[in-house]
Structure 1
């Protein structure tokens, strides 16, 4: 222009990213590369492979780390503070940009102690144990703290829908990291770490039932076998037998002592009751008369005998319910793996037995972490049964209050 030498402006370059997550690459969609879980994976409720990269990251408090600083690490520093009081949803990137204290982790821990722990048991002493003793274990074992934060995040996601994505993503992240750590410890279980592994398995049970359900969820089994969470819980059951003295004399001692008393009560009620008086009696007769395979019949009858332990505490007294969550899940812990395999194969008899379990499961519906599971499962079972076997489950359907459409 008019002889003036004008230096051409620097041309902006656009680098094509090659660092998107493998899930987005396989689906051939654009990945926003948000850490620790991209938006697409959060939206579809799948574990982003960035999570696994985060586990192997550098220092948690370092600039290059992809893992949020956990409160037990005590890293303190400056940096902008995210506004957790705002109603505007925040991304994980906003939270992790804070150098030093991770306020999201602190928020989750505070919510667990002041709120979530109170929802895990009805007995005041057990509430105190979940509120005080379990977090103390979290400061000793990183995977326990991860389990605490994961469950608390699901709790907040349920009651703060405007930040649901944030909390659910954080719950998945914390649980996946804790699960990897606990699985590694399982291979080297000893008297020192057995208490931490045991309570993590209990937290995993709560986490599993509290995680938002998908239409195909069947709780105990998947398409390829027993559900991963159930394998973990059943896999840690041997700890009680091999490390009984340590567990009963440790910080979880009151939990095991209360559990022993409850087990003695169930055995007493079983001895005083007759199998013929149980709601399971009619189902037992139907299976005995119509199932041709003698080996399968033995498996089904064994499952029904185990389920009686949950049913002996089913009726309510004038003082109110006489059950605890352990009374319901005792069947899950004790049922034979061969029955679970038949349930995975969706045999008609196994599905009918499972429908009776849904009746006792319905008693936990008042807990936020269990709400809706009984009706979800009975609906799935009904649609998997033929017309003959649908008649077998009329009693469970009526007790649950579900109406077939």
Structure 2
């Protein structure tokens, strides 16, 4: 693996960007960058509006997919619902109370909210496709159909959250997040936003956290089990003094050494490293997989919006910091099938965007996860 800039006479074969720059109609009307995710862009998900990509996903089918649609088993809905309750729910937590919430309370909510039922079936179909390679193509197709249906029904309610539907909307947001993490990435997929990089699931996670923070009625609902199990780790994450980590300290020193005249930008970058160091605390073996997961993802919704803005602008230093989050994701991939591959996705995207002078900065994290830099070819 080579993390240094390419030598003379060599050229990096960069990963091409296949998406158009037009974006969905709503983003174009608002003159904002669109990440062009299907079946709904992140901007539309955040605003709780129906993205025109949803209708495209419903209308446009290849001949192969039309054939798969005709082959839908008559009891597929029941099969997916059962699979979620019997198997998928157990992959979402190792703690019995939280597992019970997913396998008992969430299915009960689904009986009164069809967008949750569709979300359950979508996620279960992805899980089953992960387990049964011989049915993979058909299951992935139907997973997308379920997910599209869930978005069509659930998105209009995002701006109408009440104490009565708060639990259902919170679960809807979680299932949408899990689906976007778990869905297989195609060759033309990208986690880039505009000219920069901002993973869609980061927005979804922050949106989910916002629903929880804004609707305290959830604290008295069955889904409060998720909050209660998280509160202890979240409090420790915010209050403890993190131990100095050599790789993060080196990254800190590199940014300081640039002598950036924009002191505000430097403050934002160093702040992002400091908050990331809090999550690095949980790499210690004394923490179980649940605590690691909570300690890691807390960085994604605690890091400042100004840092995310730098990411979306393809700021080199900000993208380097993001790659240092990849080893944390890698720690989780063996235990959580729905985050598999994300450490590589992020590293590949960042490497393709980084200026050559900055590629040595990410040598340590990409070595940690075992990602291999693109093949170098002679001119």
TM range (shorter): 0.7 to 0.9
Distance (whole Å) between structure 2 residues aligned to residue 191 and residue 322 of structure 1: 28
Distance (whole Å) between structure 2 residues aligned to residue 322 and residue 109 of structure 1: 25
Matched, 1:257 2:234: no
Is the contact made by 2:90 and 2:99 (CA closer than 8 Å) also made in structure 1?
A: yes
Output aligned runs, 1:49-64, within 5 Å: 49=55, 51-52=57-58
2:330 is matched with 362
Q: CA deviation at 1:104?
A: 0.5
* CA pair 230-398 structure 1, distance change in 2 beyond 3 A: closer
Distance (whole Å) between structure 1 residues aligned to residue 194 and residue 332 of structure 2: 23
2:68 is matched with 91
Give the secondary-structure state (helix, strand or coil) at the position aligned to 1:191: coil
1:17 is matched with none
* CA pair 307-217 structure 1, distance change in 2 beyond 3 A: farther
TM-score by length of 1: 0.70
Considering only CA atoms, is the larger Rg found in Structure 1 or Structure 2?
1
* Larger relative contact order, structure 1 or 2 (CA cutoff 8 Å, min sep 6): 2
1:305-324, Cα deviation, whole Å (9 max, x unpaired): 3322321111223x765733
Is the contact made by 2:314 and 2:353 (CA closer than 8 Å) also made in structure 1?
A: yes
Distance (whole Å) between structure 2 residues aligned to residue 248 and residue 139 of structure 1: 21
Distance (whole Å) between structure 1 residues aligned to residue 290 and residue 140 of structure 2: 34
Q: CA deviation at 1:374?
A: 0.9
TM-score by length of 2: 0.75
Distance (whole Å) between structure 2 residues aligned to residue 224 and residue 322 of structure 1: 32
Is the contact made by 2:197 and 2:313 (CA closer than 8 Å) also made in structure 1?
A: no
Matched, 1:396 2:374: no
Q: CA deviation at 1:48?
A: 7.7
1:63-90, Cα deviation, whole Å (9 max, x unpaired): xxxxxxxxxxxxxxxxxxxxxxxxxx97
2:305 is matched with 337
Between stretches 214-223 and 361-370, larger displacement belongs to 214-223
2:104 aligned to which of 111, 115, 132: 132
Is the contact made by 1:346 and 1:384 (CA closer than 8 Å) also made in structure 2?
A: yes
* CA pair 220-239 structure 1, distance change in 2 beyond 3 A: farther
Give the secondary-structure state (helix, strand or coil) at the position aligned to 2:283: coil
Matched, 1:181 2:150: no
Distance (whole Å) between structure 1 residues aligned to residue 57 and residue 290 of structure 2: 42
Distance (whole Å) between structure 2 residues aligned to residue 358 and residue 216 of structure 1: 21
Stretches of structure 2 lacking an aligned partner (at least 5 in a row): 1-37, 40-52, 61-65
1:171 is matched with 143
Aligned length: 318
* CA pair 224-357 structure 1, distance change in 2 beyond 3 A: closer
Matched, 1:353 2:330: no
2:213 aligned to which of 232, 241, 244: 241
Between stretches 281-290 and 108-117, larger displacement belongs to 281-290
1:313 is matched with 282
2:164 aligned to which of 192, 196, 204: 192
Distance (whole Å) between structure 2 residues aligned to residue 321 and residue 117 of structure 1: 16
1:289 aligned to which of 237, 248, 257: 257
Stretches of structure 1 lacking an aligned partner (at least 5 in a row): 1-40, 55-88, 97-101
Matched, 1:115 2:87: yes
Is the contact made by 2:234 and 2:294 (CA closer than 8 Å) also made in structure 1?
A: no
